[in-house]
Amino acid sequence: MPKKTVIPFGPQHPVLPEPIHLDLVLEDETVVDAIPSIGFIHRGLESLVEKKDFNEMVYVAERICGICSFMHGMGYCEAVEHVMDIDIPDRAKYLRTIWCEFSRLHSHLLWLGLLADGFGFEALFNECWRIREQVLDMVEMTTGGRLIASVNRVGGVLKDITPDMLKQMKAVAENVGRELVPVADTFLNDYSVKSRLCGSGILSKEDAIALGACGPMMRASGIAVDHRKSGYAAYGNIDFDVITSNDCDGYGRVYVRIQELFQSVEIVRQAIDKIPDSEEIMIKPKGNPKGEYLMRLEQPRGEAFYYVKGNGSKNLDRFRVRTPTFGNLAPLVHTLKGAPFADVPLLVLTIDPCVSCTER
Amino acid sequence: MEDYGKNIIEIPLEKLAIVAGEEKNAGHRLAQACATYVNDKYELLYSFEEDYAMTTYKVVVGLDEEVPSISRIFFPAFTYENEMKELFGVKIKGIVTDYNDKFYRIATETPFLKKKGGK
């Protein structure tokens, strides 16, 4: 019987932009168990509801994470809006949708770059991040912030986008779509990329359900669930299909995210074409939230939950966030078991971990 | 589409394992679980999902009450239950992978548990 060795992986590791720790139990070069632990950047942000009122909490929600910032702010606002029975103006719904998809574009491009860097394809990494820059420039131009947009408020959005800027956003999105074509071709057809991803980190459809996987991790196991289909913001008026793959491996996860990039370009195009002309982008909330609501939306990494419970005062009783990476920890442990030690960094990357979100 | 975020069904603690078993048998996925500390009690929320249909159950327990783990029914519950235990101090028994307060590597013990009589 081979001797078991425990190797600590992280919290600091070249493939990890943020700290997470895994105790890897190895038999020779094969991982037989993986035990994750977190908390290195736990800030207890949720408990700030005791000190910040429900309007100020938007700023806190946005700061859970830089990459997912816009959608955290929006998820929190939509949850409070449900509790307070606020139907925000239609134009605000479309503006949120457009900024959501720009967030998805820059998040997926960031991940693709990190993955390319993870398997040593530096030119591909540079190309992904070069394309990403124009997305961030547009977010900065329309909101004032590259990552922390700070445009969501309970009742709508703070800033409008002028028709000229909408035109420019559409042109940038279409350009991203064009420039993505050769990048997608390399990721999906290059021999060296395929040799690292095909057949690694298998998560079957049954296991994905049993282990509570979410987002692209789940869709790459053949499960067609994308919570944008539930119709929050303006998604109910946008025509799109859920992208899935039946590969169930690292390659399938890359395929799903790349197709979602093209899909985001199409959603931006539709949203800009359909956005209603109006000057109303915000409804001032009356009173304080009383009641509870569990909001869920589709972040780039998967479904995120925002639970709010109000007691009628300006401070909420509870604000709780369940992020997609937290939901994908159990599937990650599963995919690591039986994997060669050398594949561990790539397998960790294929869940697109966001540790700031996970620890809050 | 039904508003799944608002429909939260309160069940007694004794029914938690039964409900979790029924959800498992129905082929549903554990979507999330979380704890809330309100008025010197814990409110535990468990959400199960199939496709886009989600059911959320709420269990209200006293601070010293023991809560059975559902991680033998839904394996991924171990992360949520370790979190409830370490951040709030919920007394969950029988977690499949119990970290014994080492899942979150934080310096403060049960940081979200308020002092008696607190908010």
Taking residues B3-23, what's their average pLDDT?
85
- Give the tokens for residue B88: 């709030």
What is the reported pLDDT for A351? 81
Nearest to A351 by CA among A156, A233, A171, A218: A218
The confidence band for A269, taking pLDDT boundaries of 50, 70 and 90, is very high
**For residue range B65-80, what is the model confidence (pLDDT) as tens digits?**
899 999 999 888 888 9
Pick the CATH number of B8-93 from 3.30.460.80, 3.30.420.10, 3.30.499.10, 3.30.930.10: 3.30.460.80
Give the closest of B5, B36, B106 to A317, CB-based.
B36
* B113 CB within 8 Å of a chain A CB: no
What integer pLDDT is reported at residue B119 of this predicted model?
A: 44
pLDDT band at A119 (very low <50, low <70, confident <90, very high): confident
Beta-carbon contacts of residue A182 (< 8 Å; ≥ 6 apart): none
d(C-alpha A133, C-alpha A122), whole Å: 17
A&B contacts, CB < 8 Å: 95
Amino acid sitting at position B83: E
- A210: nearest Cα among B49, B97, B76: B76
Q: What is the pTM of this model?
A: 0.88
pLDDT tens-digit readout, A21-62: 888 898 888 888 888 877 777 777 777 777 888 888 889 888
Question: Got the DSSP string for A255-290?
Answer: HHHHHHHHHHHHHHHHHHHHPPP-S--B----S--E
- The domain locations on chain A are 47-359
A77 CA: distance to closest CA in chain B (Å): 14
Determine contact: A317 vs chain B, CB below 8 A.
yes
- pLDDT (0 to 100) of residue B116: 52
Inter-residue contact A222 to A205 (CB < 8 Å): yes
| ipTM > 0.85 (yes/no) | no
Contact between chains at A318 and B29 (C-beta distance less than 8 A): no
CATH superfamily label, A47-359: Cytochrome-c3 Hydrogenase, chain B (1.10.645.10)
Residue A50 touches partner B, C-beta closer than 8 Å: yes
- Cα–Cα distances in Å, from B101 out to A35, A256, B66, B80, B89? 14, 36, 16, 13, 10
Chain B residues whose CB is inside 8 A of the A8 CB are none
Question: What's the mean pLDDT in A103-132?
Answer: 91
- For residue A346, name the pLDDT band (cuts at 50, 70, 90): confident
Residues of B in contact with A82 (CB under 8 A): 3, 5-6
Whether residue B30 lies within 8 A of chain A, CB to CB, comes out as yes
Mutate to test the interface with A, among B46, B73, B79 (most CBs of A within 10 A): B79
- For residue A89, count other CB atoms closer than 10 A to its CB: 18
Average pLDDT of span A132-138: 93
